[in-house]
Amino acid sequence: MGEAMHWAERIERRVKLRDLHILTAVAQSGSMGKAAAGLAVSQPAVSKAIADLEYALGVRLLDRSRQGVEPTVYGRALLKWGVAAFDALRQGVKELEFLADPAGGELRVGCTEPLAAAFVPAVVDHLCRRHPRAVFDVVPANRVALLDRELRQRRVDLIVTPTEGLNPGKDADVMPLFDDVHIVMAGAHSKWARRRNVALDELAKESWVLPPPDSLAGISIARAFRASGVEPPRAQIASFSVPLLCHLLATGRYLTMCPVSLLHLARHMPLKALPVPSLRDHRPIGIFTLRNRTLSPLAQIFIQQARATAESLRGARRAAGGAP
């Protein structure tokens, strides 16, 4: 107990946020000179801040060499918790801003490209109408980068992504939203869009735009084809880009498989679901947040609205008898 009190007193009295900020800049740049230039302070001021931290904590934080500096094992540990401390402080400031102006606030949301095309915009648009001074920073990326880079490094407040095969680990929580269904689609002017009945094997030799075959979505789509007794088509164009997909489908020459949520939430897109009921690929969608990280009021409101939007999708599918 006495040793713990000694460390707590040392940190409270001697460790300064400014010095932690300088340590972070030095670690990121690998040089005290570069950190000083980036922070617009003198190099002696940077050296003193690092020395003060090392003296306060009683450990060496940086290894110095002719090539520059890099954190020691103690430095890496302090930097990890320093990032968490600065993030908690930012969250606290956001909450104060929200309490002072409930119509404002800022939220950083990560999501995959398909969810950035329909579901997330639907949620954000609803919130922007209710909170006109709120600001949303939407970051599209692949699932692994969203979880390991954007969320865990606290670059975003939460992520919306397919959850299948994505392990949240011990430091994250996942809240299920809805099951998205990947179905066969064509452009509104495609010859296939006018057909009332389409056999899957008729489509195998058409030109397809699909996710990369080695991606989770690509593997899942191939599995859905094989489950229907048809060899999956070879994509003429492989991409996650929804704008690229829509542009190509608008020509009437291509087919794809993409989430049915695009039909319900982005009706302006030139997409037409084809009547191939045997080929459907279900993908659960959820929201990941960091465990033990306090969510801002705006983040909590986003989650509430995301659930309401997800329920509207389920309602639309029930009203259509389960059809897209």
CA–CA dist 187, 137 (Å, integer): 30
Last residue of some domain: 35, 58, 84? 84
Q: Are 240 and 209 in contact (CB under 8 A)?
A: no
The answer to whether residues 249 and 212 belong to one domain is yes
Domain count, the chain: 3
State the pLDDT at residue 10.
56
Instruction: Please report, rounded to a whole number, the percentage of residues in the chain having pLDDT higher than 90.
Output: 25
Question: What mean pLDDT comes out for the span 229-246?
Answer: 88
CATH code for position 205 = 3.40.190.290
- Residue 21: give the domain boundaries: 2-84
192 and 173 in a common domain: no
Same domain for 95 and 157: yes
240 shares its domain with 256? yes
State the average pLDDT over residues 268-282: 76
Pair (54, 97) in one structural domain: no
Q: What angle do CA 297, 298, 300 make, to 5 degrees?
A: 65
Confidence of residue 157 (pLDDT cuts 50, 70, 90): very high
Smallest Cα–Cα separation from 79: which of 153, 163, 175? 153
90: which 2 tokens? 């930012």
> Are 169 and 298 part of one and the same domain?
yes
pLDDT tens digits, 20-68: 888 888 888 888 888 888 888 888 888 888 888 888 788 888 888 777 7
- Whether residue 324 lies inside any domain: the answer is no
Of the listed ranges 43-52, 110-119, 170-179, 270-279, the least confidently predicted one is 270-279
Distance CA 109, CA 9 (A): 37
Q: How far is CA 204 from the centre of its chain?
A: 33
pLDDT of residue 321: 45
Helix, strand or coil for residue 78?
Answer: helix
Helices (H) and strands (E) in the chain, counts: 13, 11
Question: What is the average pLDDT value for the chain, to the nearest integer?
Answer: 83
What's phi and psi for 274, nearest 5 deg? -90, 145
Residue 160: other Cβ atoms inside 10 A: 25
Pick the range with the lowest mean pLDDT from 52-56, 84-88, 174-178, 219-223: 84-88
In a domain, 125, yes or no: yes
The answer to the question of residue 244 being in a domain is yes
Three-state secondary-structure class, residue 288: strand
